[in-house]
Amino acid sequence: MKIDIREKIQREEASNIGFSVAMISWGMLFASLFLAYALYRFKETAWPPMGFEKVSLVWPTTSTIIIFLSSCTYYLYQKSYFMKQVKSTKFFYSVTVLFASLFLVSQKMLWATLHDSGLYTSSGIFASILHGFTWVHAGHVGIGILAILFVIPSVKTQNIGNEKFRIRMANVGKFWHFLGIVWFLMYLTMFVL
């Protein structure tokens, strides 16, 4: 019995250490992108530069609302899971997957809006940064959706409340909330200010 507990603790510690290293790496990636953006932005005398119009806030705001709601529903999914509420767990999990997918659709609409405004990756540094930053984030959201799908076994009725999925759900949740925070910072710095 003691060996099982010790092994469980060691697995949890290894998972937490590995996940912490991954989160630090992703944090550094996005911090580097924010730094590059800040250096470029503060170098320019007019903003947006090169005579471009300010990007419409419709799709960035829609994306912000969607990713915020997906973070809320993921939290409610976890809470329902540990309270062993079968219907709520399945409902909030499904809504989270739906919102996550809608976020990618809203990003596609944002890119279409950028193109309609004449902002292509070939339009200069400003357009390249907007596209590149949102592409990198969308790629991570795609990974986040795969991670959310990775916790599907937790939604099976017989597994709801099972402690074995706790670490997996917590790590996926941390990553998903991290992506939400990164998007909110992108929204503020690249679209609002």
- pLDDT for the residue 158: 80
Owning domain of residue 166: 2-192
pLDDT of residue 159: 79
User: Residue 52 has what pLDDT?
Assistant: 87
CATH code, domain with 177: 1.20.120.80
Comparing CA positions, the residue from 30, 192, 33, 28 lying closest to residue 128 is 33
Q: Cα–Cα distance between 77 and 90 in angstroms, integer?
A: 7
- Provide Rg for the chain, Cα atoms: 20
Q: What is the pLDDT along the chain (193 residues), one digit of tens a residue?
A: 455 777 777 777 888 888 899 999 999 999 999 999 999 999 998 888 888 889 999 999 999 999 999 999 999 999 998 898 989 999 999 999 999 999 999 999 999 999 999 999 999 899 999 999 999 999 999 999 999 999 888 888 787 777 778 888 889 999 999 999 999 999 999 999 8
Nearest to 33 by CA among 143, 171, 175, 138: 138
Note the pTM of the prediction, 2 decimals.
Answer: 0.90
Q: How many domains does the chain have?
A: 1
Within 13 Å, how many C-alpha atoms sit on residue 166's CB side?
12
| pLDDT score, position 3 | 57
| pLDDT at 53 (0 to 100) | 87
